[in-house]
């Protein structure tokens, strides 16, 4: 119990969250394979979006990072390592490491580009000839989760920067002829309320998955949610203790899925059917095909399998495609019925 109480702030257990299966699955699959491209969660107010996102970050096992490094650099993976650490390793310098919780970075609505990307101290560079970089939120989010609440209210150019960094895994800051590049691989999670406006279709398309959240209408389920929250508010550490076994079980499942992922295969005929569905739905570009393939492999891995089957694709394809059907910014996002109809016709 003492180790639990040593946490800075108690976080609602992920396995204690009632309902909202679509959102929970999308988050788990993105954690298993961050290359899926993040998740956009749109739904009513007060449906537990922020609670669930913080809960998934708290659930994840600690990661090993290089000490005295701004970017949470990995000790052996070059794609997750800053240039400074690469140089040290190439010169056979002993590099110290320590364990940290998976970073969970909140992007405030009023954030500036400098706060997001980081800034270069030009004066120091000119006077002392030293590249002095003040890291931004993209540096802190490397190997973690970057959460943007009310992403539909964020400036479009900041959303573009975020999505570019999420897609490439790198952030580049250039100023007055000085350029600094650092790893920035994170799971991008955006949330918002449709009543406050939608994202442009071009930006929506860049999110790997789109989860729709609806207010629970069933009275008994609403009571269960309220009671669960009240129990946590009255005795957070007791509630965390109660769900320790379930949390550890899910943590192990995610770790196993991450380790198995590279061995999961998807049959050529099934890939053809996925692309056929995207073609019939008139999905622009190939992002929908790529994300669906990745998500299906992550889902199969999560189920403990090495091969993707039709049922795996059916479970995730709506999450991957529903937000790619909008052609007109004034259209509303299809709830998934159109995707389901085409999927049921082709995947038989």
Residues 226 and 270 in one domain: no
Q: Out of 206, 260, 287, 324, pick the active-site residue.
A: 287
Residues 234 and 324 in one domain: no
Domain of residue 313, residue span? 260-346
As a whole number of angstroms, the distance between CA 119 and CA 111 comes to 13
For 245-269, what is the mean pLDDT?
A: 92
Residues 196 and 338 in one domain: no
On whether residue 43 sits in a domain, the answer given is yes
pLDDT higher than threshold 80 for residue 272: yes
On whether residue 89 sits in a domain, the answer given is no
Clarify whether 287 is annotated catalytic. yes
Residues 201 and 234 in one domain: no
Q: Establish how many alpha carbons lie within 13 A of residue 192's alpha carbon, considering only the half-sphere containing its beta carbon.
A: 18
Buried b (16+ CB within 10 A) or exposed e, 148-163: bbebbebeeebbebbb
Percentage of the chain exceeding pLDDT 90: 19
Residues 106 and 163 in one domain: yes
- Specify the pairing of strand 97-100 against strand 178-183: unpaired
- The pLDDT assigned to 313 comes to 92
Residue positions counted in the chain:
348
212 near 298, Cβ under 8 Å?
no
Q: Residue 145 belongs to a domain with what CATH number?
A: 3.40.50.300
Q: Residue 333 belongs to a domain with what CATH number?
A: 1.10.8.80
As a whole number of angstroms, the distance between CA 207 and CA 38 comes to 6
Q: Which of the two residues, 150 and 131, has the higher pLDDT score?
A: 150
Residues 172 and 320 in one domain: no
Beta partners for 98? Answer: 65
pLDDT higher than threshold 50 for residue 3: no
On whether residue 275 sits in a domain, the answer given is yes
Stated pTM of the model: 0.84
Q: What is the pLDDT of residues 118-146, one digit of tens each?
A: 887 776 666 666 667 788 899 888 888 89
pLDDT confidence band for 1 (50 / 70 / 90): very low
What's the total number of domains in the chain?
A: 3
Residues 52 and 6 in one domain: no
């Amino acid at each position: 119990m003492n180790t639990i109480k040593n946490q800075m702030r108690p976080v609602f257990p992920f396995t204690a969250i009632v309902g909202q299966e679509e959102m929970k699955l999308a988050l788990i699959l993105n954690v298993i394979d961050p290359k899926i491209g993040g998740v956009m969660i749109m739904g009513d107010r007060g449906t537990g979006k922020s609670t669930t996102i913080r809960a998934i970050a708290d659930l994840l096992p600690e990661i090993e990072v290089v000490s005295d490094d701004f970017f949470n650099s990995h000790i052996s993976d070059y794609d997750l390592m800053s240039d400074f650490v690469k140089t040290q390793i190439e010169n056979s310098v002993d590099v110290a490491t320590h364990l940290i919780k998976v970073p969970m970075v909140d992007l405030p609505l009023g954030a500036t580009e400098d706060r997001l990307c980081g800034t270069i101290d030009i004066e120091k560079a000119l006077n002392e000839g030293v590249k002095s970089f003040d890291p931004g939120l993209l540096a802190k989010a490397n190997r973690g989760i970057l959460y943007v609440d009310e992403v539909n209210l964020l400036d479009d150019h900041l959303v573009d920067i975020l999505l570019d960094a999420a897609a490439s895994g790198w952030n580049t800051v250039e100023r007055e002829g000085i350029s600094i590049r650092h790893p920035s691989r994170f799971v991008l999670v955006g949330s918002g309320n449709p009543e406050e406006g939608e994202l442009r279709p071009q930006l929506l398309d860049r999110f790997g998955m789109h989860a729709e959240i609806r207010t629970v209408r069933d009275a008994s389920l609403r009571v269960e949610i309220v009671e669960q929250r009240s129990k946590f508010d009255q005795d957070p550490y007791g509630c965390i203790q109660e769900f320790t076994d379930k949390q550890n079980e899910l943590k192990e499942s995610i770790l196993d899925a991450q380790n198995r992922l590279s061995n999961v295969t998807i049959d050529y005929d099934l890939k053809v059917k996925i692309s056929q569905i995207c073609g019939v739905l008139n999905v622009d570009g190939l992002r929908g095909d790529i994300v669906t393939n990745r998500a299906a492999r992550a889902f199969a891995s999560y189920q403990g399998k090495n091969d993707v089957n039709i049922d795996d694709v059916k479970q995730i394809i709506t999450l991957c495609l529903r937000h790619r059907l909008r052609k007109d910014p004034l259209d509303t996002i299809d709830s998934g019925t159109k995707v389901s109809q085409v999927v049921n016709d082709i995947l038989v």
